[in-house]
Amino acid sequence: MGIPKRDARGDADEAKRAIAWWRARYAHVMVGLSQWRRRADARRSRRARFRVLLAEVCGECSHPWVEHLADAGLVGSPVCSECVYELEHGFSSGPICHRPVPIDVLSRADAAAAAAGQGRSDQLVGGGRIRVAKEDRDASSIATLREATAALFFGLVQPRDVIALAADLLAAGSDGVSLVALASLYSSATPADVFDLSFAALIEAGARPLDRDGEEIPLLALRVACLRLLDGDWDLRSFSSWVHDRIGHEGPAAAQPLVEVDDELDARGIGAGERYRQKVLRLAATFLADTEGPASEDH
């Protein structure tokens, strides 16, 4: 019996199908990357605005101007939520400050927010390729992978989420043997497989090794939880319960103000209204600002 002849037409059809599949996969990755970057832009803008309002204080009550935004909808009657909180809990006898945030402070905060998001979203160049700023590729992207790995350890994300992020990073210009291997895993891969490749990918990218035994992983996972709260993906009780159960009072000291939120909600019961929710949002934003260097820096 002779050797069967190769079906050239069949091979060509198979090659076309493979090319079509990869094109569809690439388009999917591009859409995901675009959405991820827009969300990242929005978060950067919010953090930049928050930092300005946190750094500057009211001359009357000495509280940061950010505390005067809790009831921003009441244009005719601004109020400092920290003054209210201190009065309600017996830390102060008043009076409550009603000074509005000065226009020049708001202008500086808005300018900082605009600058933080400017030029950071996906930029298309010839042929549909994405041009990514070096600081985005080497800092924000690897920091995001670092946080996602910690979030997987705490069950906040699934293996497929980290795999998809690795594919996004490759499309954005990052590379490395372990990152390619991570992006190539099936969505049914085990967390252990993802951990090993993600840890290796961080090191190949020039980042310091992820500390498996210290406080870094809990703090990084808490950053992801805070972002979910600020983005509206979690309600206040879901957030506080997760922090209390998974981080706990034995966890890192930097996390304790957020751990105590669940205890405060238990004590307040139905009395935990919008003003307290706004206070927790500010605590979450403060935690993100305070840990942006130590917890998420790569080098």
Side-chain-side CA neighbours of residue 81 (13 Å): 20
- Do both 177 and 127 map to the same domain? no
Give the count of domains, the chain.
Answer: 3
Domain end among 131, 158, 184: 131
- Do both 116 and 139 map to the same domain? no
Domain end among 180, 204, 228: 204
Q: Is residue 80 part of a domain?
A: yes
Domain span at residue 57 reads 23-131
CA 197, CA 203: separation in Å to the nearest integer? 10
Q: What is the pLDDT tens value at each position of the chain, 299 positions in all?
A: 444 454 555 666 666 666 666 565 555 555 555 555 566 666 667 777 777 887 788 888 888 887 776 544 444 567 887 888 778 877 778 788 888 888 888 888 888 777 776 544 333 222 222 233 333 333 347 788 999 999 999 999 999 889 888 888 887 778 888 888 898 888 788 999 999 999 999 999 888 888 888 899 999 999 999 988 988 888 898 999 999 999 999 999 999 999 999 988 888 765 567 778 888 888 888 898 888 765 554 44
Distance of alpha carbon 92 from the chain centroid:
35
- Do both 84 and 112 map to the same domain? yes
Q: Is residue 16 part of a domain?
A: no
Q: Is residue 243 part of a domain?
A: yes
Task: Look up the pTM and report it.
Answer: 0.57
- Do both 220 and 240 map to the same domain? yes
- Do both 59 and 117 map to the same domain? yes
- Do both 237 and 257 map to the same domain? yes
Q: Is residue 28 part of a domain?
A: yes
- Do both 119 and 154 map to the same domain? no
Query: What phi and psi values does residue 64 have, to the nearest 5 degrees?
Result: -60, 150
Q: Is residue 51 part of a domain?
A: yes
**∠ Cα 212 136 213 (to 5°):** 5
Domain end among 204, 239, 260: 204
